[in-house]
Structure 1
Amino acid sequence: MSATGQDRERAAMQAIGRGGLESLLDLLNQDVMTTVYVQMVQNPRFRPEQLDTHGASPEEVELCLRIFESRGLLHRVDDGSWVTNAPENALADHASRLEERARTLRAATPGLSRIYYDAMARSPRSLEAVGVELLESLEDVNAAMSELFAATRRQVVSMRTRSPRVLMIMNRTPERIAEPVFNSHGETLRLRVSFDSGLLEEPAMPAAVAARTQAGDEIRFANAIPFTATTSDNGVTVMDIDDPSGTSVGMRITHPGVSAAIKRVIDDTWVRGVRWTGRGTVTRADAEPLDDRDRDILALMLGGVADATIARQLGVSQRTVERRVRRLLELLGAATRFQAGAQAVKRGWI
């Protein structure tokens, strides 16, 4: 036996002593496993020495056979020979067992994640006013957001612009976007979010907003949101930004004064935002209804969205949008969009 083969045999015996046949996989080259199994299929009734294993030692072949036996791929007979079980049954059974393990792991993941983030939220570092912590990757930002949600009592407020994490979330499936957000106690959190109106240029934005609205979020649109930030009701803020090179970075802020200042910016952004309500009926002061298209244009227009972007979002020509905007200004008796916004609020149109 070669020195390498002897080393593998010693390691194998130690692994067996620890009761782990599955751990023997780490000791074998995957090519050896494949070679032995193919030989088993080609020789359904065999003795180990009859297999052409292309240089694998007898000890390695024996380890392979023991692993395959534990998986139900073959069985030993009285005369020292082995019999390969039919692959269509044996492999299907083995695959079913692996799938059951995978289902168990997936089912356990949410609960284990809540335990993990609850522990992170209760760690000494999260309870101290540590100031400002730099997050150096999108993965760090995601982890910080998970910790923020875990430690939140009831509500999260946020303002969001075209930042790395926001773009990542927007490109998820609508079903995943609409998933509820929980704290570490499994309680559903209330989210109040202001989006920068420039995000309406993103093709995935309308579907993403519709999904979160369905999930119960309160959503508005506002102009010139400077950065993405989220603050919990326990005073922790996470910022999602990118550096000049475009690399995803962020900050986790636990300093009470800094976090409170950012929350004031989030609250001010919410106050000046335009409420997102979807399609419906809006009534003028004289009770003559606006149609759905007028209502959509009014909401987007008052959110500061340019006519060209409104046209793309609604699937109409820019000329149509411009004509309807002029009509809305006339109906409101306004000379500017700002005046139109004030009149629309006063009349209860939005």
Structure 2
Amino acid sequence: MLEAVGLTADEEAVYRLLVMNTAASAQDIAARGGFPLGCAEGLLASLADKGLATPTDRQPWQYTASPPDVALLPRLQRNADALDQARTAVTELLDSYRSNLRRRDAGQLIEVITGVGALRQHLRQLQDNARHEMTWFCKSQYVAMPSGSNATEFEALARGVRYRVLYEQAFFDDAGAVNNVVSGIRAGEDARSVPELPLRLAIADRAVAICSLVPGGPSGSPNEPTAALLRDSSLLQALAALFERYWEYAVPLHAEDVPSVARGAREVHDAAPLAKADRRLLSLLVAGVADKAIASQMGLSRRTVQRHIHHLMTLAGAATRMQLAWQAARRGWL
């Protein structure tokens, strides 16, 4: 049992005899342990060299056991440290091996996934293997995972994985989507909303990603989805940067806000073009004109200007004026 601290089975047996007795001579060890006298003397000398036994001045020469916490625990700690260093070295070597392999073989960078079943399995494995963070683009009309079916997310959240999820506004039109997003937020998901997303995307620990290649529907639809599994590469870094860009300008969601955002998505989708006065107000706002000056130029009170701005923010699903300006530009309101 003590091989981990460098003891042979015979040395461990002798050390245990010393621990159980105040002191013992080579003759005592030979008699109690069934060792030849010469062997017992050698084992005692070996334990003394390793700091596990101490000779006394009693005749015949006797030995006492060194305290286990003093003699053994430091050895275990040194071995544990050495094991950690070896594990780190192996990890570095493995990273270098994979990096060199990816340079020689493009198949190590991109794997094509076809079909609903395969895509669903890969998405679950991606989350199971995540250790720090998952980032998602969630578009409307599910392909592999219907809204509310991703139980793997809750398991990952429970073990400390951070989830940052971007929902496009049309996502909330899917059946049950509102309640499912609320459940995710309450479990710890960090959620935001944008008017529209360019593709379906999931990234684990900024090291592995799955993104859509060819649009497709759920199982049974005429067109099966085709996606790519990407490993560490410039393309993956570009997708991670794309996520951060959308995240920066997205509207943060809280559990109590999701129903109103869902309603806002439908209202904006069906909204008529902005009135001429609202377009002028937006142009002045984006130009950096202060509320007081806008009110003066448009012949309105400052309070009325602020009320119009708040209405436009609600219409755009924006939490700040900066987000309103960004949304206005995207929607062609300016």
Bigger Rg, structure 1 or 2: 2
TM-score, length-scaled by structure 1: 0.44
